[in-house]
Structure 1
Amino acid sequence: METYSMGPDRTDLLLPHSLPPDLSPVPAHLSTQTLRGSPNRPNMNRERSRNLYDRALSVTPGGVNSPVRAVRPYPFFVERGDGAHVIDADGNKYIDYVMGYGPLLLGHDLPQPVQSAVQSQLADGPMYGAPTEVEVELAEFVTRHVPSVEMIRFVNSGTEATSSAVRLARGYTGRDKIVVMQGSYHGAQESTLVQGTAGMASEPSSNGIPPAFAEETITLPFNDADAARELFEERGDEIACVLTEPILGNCASVPPVDGYLETLRELTEDHGSLLIFDEVMTGFRIGGLQCAQGKFGITPDLTTLAKVIGGGFPVGAIGGRADIIEQFAPTGDVFQAGTYSGHPLSLTAGLETLRYAAKNDVYDHVRSLGDQLRAGLTDILEDRAPEYTVVGTDSMFKVIFTRDGPRDLEGQCAAGCSQDPDCPRFEYCPKDKGDVNRAETERWERLFWPAMLDQGVFLTANQFESQFISYAHTEEDIEQTLEAYKDAL
């Protein structure tokens, strides 16, 4: 996938910049009070991580189990989580904004009610191959809060959710073509691992995918309403669905311009296609319990969910209108099944996480910290890198190393790009994947990311992946992070 900028073998990039000589590893049993590494005091030794990576290269392709983890010069190996922090195998402590790439809304330490429920479920047995009450309870919770979801089918991952949603849309409409946004990511599935130009048949973006699969997928630039209208005018009766994230989360959290999602909703309704929101990342992060669709006021036909609804355990789901979801077997003719679907441990963790968020100030807390962090970053960039762009909303954020910007920043978006036409940055802010591609992605990855890591701040691995704030983060974490940005920029 093009968002992954690391190759499968990084043994040629074992650079010494983060390995001070003659420092022995810190024993894993050290308490967090004695751990090395904090913002503005870089003294990281990662010898044990380097040795673990050397071992991993012999038994795992590229030394990792997901290519995004293959950071330069090698990944640090996590020993454990601690609230809003992770501690690596050498005892270094980092403020964590990866948060498992999104699932950990509450942080690494589960609140007592959540932890107790998970432990109780584990004591009752891991799984049964039969329905459980928690499946019904989590389904009721989601259908009660998410506008588009009348019925839901639980699966095991975001990839499985999106691939099943595409199959369902094709089965429901009797059409084969699907539309995705250029540079979007909807999991490791054949229908969406594609690349192409607007309105044209796509090509596979990975080896192993037959060209005939990709030919059924049409790509559009995100935020280009005219391109969407032109496509539907020409081929609307061929299109089964438009599959899009409401915010391009795997493209640094690029937000929609005013009216774009509304255009997709109108076009799909007018031509008998389905609108699918991939809320694997934004679900129960953006817009609180109503998800991003509630925040933007757009109700899709289908919604895919994962990450937060599993509370840190593997999960996925497809929800939507009852007449569509009931096309899944056994009530319909679209086959979908899975041994681990509706896994009681994952659903218990997800249900208790969402219940905790609903009963406490979780969303107010993460939204407030997100605004504080994005506003602080905006102020820092105005002084140090005025061409760069802060993006994100609620508990998601990123700094995109854009190359151009206005000379006068008066009146700019105060806490992250909101695609405000009156903002002086509007014509310069990224609107789609191409805009992010043109940013200084190599500078971000080769220089900035390692510098932040040495300051004790763990960010997602490249310019394209969003970053996340959790309920465990504090104002002190935000202040330390802003100081680290000042030094790294």
Structure 2
Amino acid sequence: MNRETSRDLYDRALSVLPGGVNSSVRATQPYPTFVRRGDGAHVVDVDGNRYLDYVMGYGPLLLGHDLPQQVQSAVQRAASEGPMYGAPTEVEVDLAEFVVRHVPSVEMVRFVNSGTEATVSAVRLARGHTGRNKLVVMQGGYHGAQESTLVEGDAEHPRPSTSGIPQSFARETLPVPFNDEAAVREVFERHGDDIAGVLVEPMLGNNGIVLPVDGYHDTLRDLCDEYGSLLIFDEVITGFRVGGLQCAQGKFGVTPDLTTFGKIVGGGFPVGAIGGRAEILEAFTPSGDVFQSGTFSGHPVTMAAGLETLRFAADEDVYDHVDALGERLRSGLVDVLADHAPEYTVVGTDSTFKVVFTRANTPAQDGACSTGCAQRPDCARFEACPKTGADVGNAETERWERLFRPFMREQGVLLPANQFETQFVSYAHTEADIEETLDAYEAFFTG
């Protein structure tokens, strides 16, 4: 496969962009694939190579790269009327009403410009609402590039996970292992009176996809109620992807106090949002005293794209289609691994999927969840399936990145840069695409 133009562009980029990229996860080995355009479920790179795309913009492209006519028309109309105004527009009210109507926990919404900005604002809101400082997060969870959550270690020894963050910031963050009820109970027993909130992804989405063990989120809900803390669901990845229009909170049956959104809410354009109970959201300025503002918040083009994308998903068979394809893909991968790599684990739900190169000491996939790990205690592989971010980190990440991903690229299948990022099916994918993908996985494992 000729990739000379991508190589040359990367060479140029290294002179003007730090690391040659504008987001660190794009820095694949030996150099990134520079994309020229999207085409349905595919992307075409600058050298003319065509790939089945399972990155899907890291999630927002629920409908694929070719937007339905109603979405295209709404975007073009909004753009033609003016780039932006610095004033409210009707479409942002329409989109807020749609979100409030469909997501169980949401009574009000504040739109922002990214998932990171949404979680930053949600943390500030939780601290302002409760008058407390500490924040419980999950080890291996990801909530954007913000000081309060770029923290590693454990609850008694938190430390910044990157340079540039003062240790004094990290002291207010309490990392605990995902799915570990005993650990989070202990943290509340020690620090409960100063915990403003628990910030958690309904499933770990930047760590190989780790689903919650049954009852884990209920435990978080109960602890927050007992201690007067806020439960914050980060649905930047899962929102309007997992659980359909009700999002992951509807699928898992747990109602948070606050929810952060991104990705699909803007139909592929930059967006973020914070939703939740009205009494909490009204603490934002100008109705309250928790400052939050942004010149581009509620951008009319983004609002129009998000509204029409979600309307299309509500009116058509989008979720039935993408979830069925996701299930077919995961079940096929379970079969491939049973024959060739029984120690590895298929993960995901709805329209998400991944193969984590786990080091499970398991002789066969007999008894494994048929469509990917569902954290069933009666499953023969229950103890071997990832429960925490550390479990995914201990998998064969180098083999995934340096051997598997490049092989799949050569097979015409584009995957995210590393083993930790979620992979997505879109409305543009077909059953034939799924079979082609399974053939590519089979080819890797059979050599």
Asked if TM exceeds 0.5, the reply is yes
Could you tell me which residue of structure 2 aligns to residue 10 of structure 1? none
Counterparts of 1:300 and 1:283, CA distance in 2? 13
Q: Given residue 182 of structure 1, which amino acid in structure 2 is its aligned partner? A: Q
Which structure 2 residue ranges, 5 or more long, are not aligned? none
1:403 alignment partner, one of 351, 355, 359: 359
Query: How many angstroms does 1:234 deviate by?
Result: 1.6
Task: Please give the alpha-carbon distance, in whole angstroms, between the structure 1 residues aligned to 2:434 and 2:428.
Answer: 11
> Does 2:45 align with 1:88?
yes
**Aligned counterparts, 1:209-288, within 5 A:** 209-288=165-244
CA distance in 1, matches of 2:101, 2:243: 15
**1:436-473: CA deviation from partner (whole Å, max 9, x where unpaired):** 11100100001000000000000011010110000000
TM-score (norm 2): 0.99
**d(CA) in 1 for partners of 2:320, 2:310:** 14
User: C-alpha distance in 2, partners of 1:456/1:356?
Assistant: 29
Report whether the alignment pairs 1:454 with 2:385.
Answer: no
Q: Give structure 1 stretches of 5+ with no counterpart.
A: 1-43
CA contact 1:169–1:274 (8 Å) conserved in 2: yes
Alignment partner for residue 36 of structure 2, among 79, 86, 90? 79
Look up the match of 1:341. 297
Q: Secondary structure at the match of 1:375?
A: helix
Matched, 1:132 2:82: no
Distance (whole Å) between structure 1 residues aligned to residue 403 and residue 362 of structure 2: 25
Aligned to 2:112: 155
- Identity across aligned pairs (percent)? 71
Structure 1 partner of 2:16: 59
User: Deviating runs (4+, > 2 A) in structure 1?
Assistant: 405-411
Counterpart in 1 of 2:160?
204
Whether contact under 8 Å (1:405, 1:425) holds in the other structure is no
* Alignment-mate amino acid for residue 140 of structure 1: E
1:143 aligned to 2:115?
no
Q: Give the SS at the match of 1:371.
A: helix
SS of match in other structure, 1:142: helix
Per-residue CA distance 1:137-189 (angstroms, 9 max, x = gap): 00000000000100010000000000000000000000000010001110001
Shift of 1:412: 1.6
Superposed, 1:82-481 pairs within 5 Å as: 82-197=39-154, 199-481=155-437
Cα distance in 1 for residues equivalent to 2:365 and 2:315: 40
Counterpart CA distance in 2 for 1:405 and 1:361 is 41
**Quick one: which amino acid aligns to residue 205 of structure 1?**
S
Alignment check: 8 A CA contact 1:101 1:468 kept = yes
Q: Which residue identity does 1:474 align to in structure 2?
A: T
Contact 1:388/1:405 (CA < 8 Å) preserved in 2? Answer: no
Which amino acid is the alignment partner of residue 142 of structure 1? Answer: V
- Whichever residue aligns with residue 80 of structure 1, its letter is R
> Over residues 76-110 of structure 1, what are the superposed CA-to-partner deviations in whole Å (9 max), with x where a residue is unaligned?
10000000000000000000000000110000000
Q: 3-state DSSP class of the match of 2:390?
A: helix
Task: Note the C-alpha offset of 1:408.
Answer: 4.5
Q: Name the structure 1 match of 2:27.
A: 70
Question: Does structure 1 conserve the Cα–Cα contact (< 8 Å) formed by 2:367 and 2:381?
Answer: no
CA contact (8 A) 1:397 1:468 kept: yes
Q: CA–CA distance in 2 between the matches of 1:409 and 1:338?
A: 50
Output one character per residue of 1:317-376: Cα deviation in whole Å (capped at 9) or x when no partner: 000000000000001000000000000100100000000000000000000000000000
SS at the partner of 1:249? coil
CA contact (8 A) 2:64 2:426 kept: yes
SS in 1 for 2:349: coil
Task: Give secondary structure in 1 for the equivalent of 2:206.
Answer: helix
CA distance in structure 2 between the partners assigned to 1:435 and 1:92 by the alignment: 35
Is 2:444 aligned against 1:485?
no
Q: CA deviation at 1:410?
A: 2.7
Q: Secondary structure at the match of 1:450?
A: helix
Q: Which amino acid aligns with 1:438?
A: N
Q: Quote the offset at 1:409 in angstroms.
A: 3.1
Mapped contact 1:201–1:216 kept (Cα < 8 A): no
CA distance in 2, matches of 1:87, 1:488: 22
Residue type matched to 1:284 in 2?
F
In structure 2, C-alpha distance between the alignment counterparts of 1:352 and 1:109, rounded to whole Å: 14
So what's the TM-score if we normalise by structure 1?
0.90
Shift in Å at residue 411 of structure 1? 2.5
How far residue 405 of structure 1 moved from its aligned partner, in angstroms, is 3.9
**1:32-81 residue CA offsets vs partner (Å, 9 max, x unmatched):** xxxxxxxxxxxx10000000000000100010000100000000100000
Please, what is the CA RMSD of the aligned residues? 0.7
Structure 2 equivalent of residue 35 of structure 1:
none
